[in-house]
């Protein structure tokens, strides 16, 4: 395992900031200064500023994000962070983001390799949303969304879309661009007033009320690793 990944898994900091610690000479491996290309295993002795560092247990958590929480690890405005709702010793981070006012399924983990895989554009992770909208919900608009719409940062991929009621729509996407669902619906004159992510890949929120979380099963973790 790369030294920066080891430090991140230990809950010290992110990989990027771990690189800064390594370059500053604050990290040692078996008593010698660590390098950016250093690899470590379970038998190596890693220390930060002279204090021993140990790897964390890998955790995979599904949380039902409530409204009014941010998915960033720090917030200059002092808003409640999603990470504050998960009281565990391991340092986990969100896989992707949900807007402050968006609710629903969010994955948290300290498995950086899997997190990077799930967020990479080449991997198609299906995310199912229910949007409450203002505006006339017509079949023509649904068909446009199914084909993909033009956005300011390029065309969206085709989406799976169906109307649930005259003011609610279900949309399944696999891209990870910022505010994507809201922007897509905006192109067909539908204003989103509430947005909820009900399913992340195969993970749904059964028995999880807003703010509640659970660890994934071994089967669910394996299914995520198999996402292509």
Catalytic residues: 99
Are 176 and 227 a contacting pair, CB within 8 Å?
A: no
Q: What is the DSSP letter of 2?
A: B
Relative orientation angle of helices 218-225 and 112-119, to the nearest 10 degrees:
50
Q: Cα–Cα distance between 91 and 221 in angstroms, integer? A: 18
Q: Cα–Cα distance between 107 and 203 in angstroms, integer? A: 9
3-class SS string, 69-95 = CECCCCCCCCCCEHHHHCCCCCCCEEC
Hey, is 172 helix, strand or coil? strand
Are 199 and 160 a contacting pair, CB within 8 Å?
A: no
- What is the phi-psi region of residue 77: left when phi exceeds 0, alpha when psi lies from -120 to 50, beta otherwise? alpha
Are 167 and 133 a contacting pair, CB within 8 Å?
A: yes
């Amino acid at each position: 395992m790369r030294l920066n990944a080891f430090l991140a898994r230990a809950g010290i900091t992110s990989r990027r900031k771990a690189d800064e610690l390594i370059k500053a000479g604050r990290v040692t491996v078996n008593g010698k200064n660590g390098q950016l290309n250093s690899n470590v295993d379970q038998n190596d002795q890693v220390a930060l500023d002279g204090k021993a560092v140990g790897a964390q247990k890998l955790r995979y958590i599904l949380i039902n994000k409530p409204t009014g929480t941010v998915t960033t690890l720090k917030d200059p405005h002092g808003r409640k962070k999603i990470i504050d709702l998960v009281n565990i010793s391991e340092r986990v981070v969100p896989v992707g983001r949900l807007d402050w006012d968006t609710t629903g399924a969010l994955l948290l983990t300290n498995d950086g390799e899997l997190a990077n895989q799930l967020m990479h554009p080449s991997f198609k992770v299906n995310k199912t949303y229910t949007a409450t909208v203002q505006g006339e919900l017509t079949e023509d608009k649904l068909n446009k969304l199914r084909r993909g719409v033009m956005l300011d940062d390029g065309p969206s991929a085709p989406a799976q879309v169906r109307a649930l009621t005259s003011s609610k729509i279900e949309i399944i996407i696999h891209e990870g661009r910022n505010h994507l669902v809201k922007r897509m619906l905006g192109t067909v004159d539908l204003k989103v007033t509430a947005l909820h992510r009900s399913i992340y890949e195969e993970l749904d929120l059964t028995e999880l009320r807003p703010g509640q979380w659970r660890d994934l099963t071994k089967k669910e973790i394996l299914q995520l690793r198999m996402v292509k």
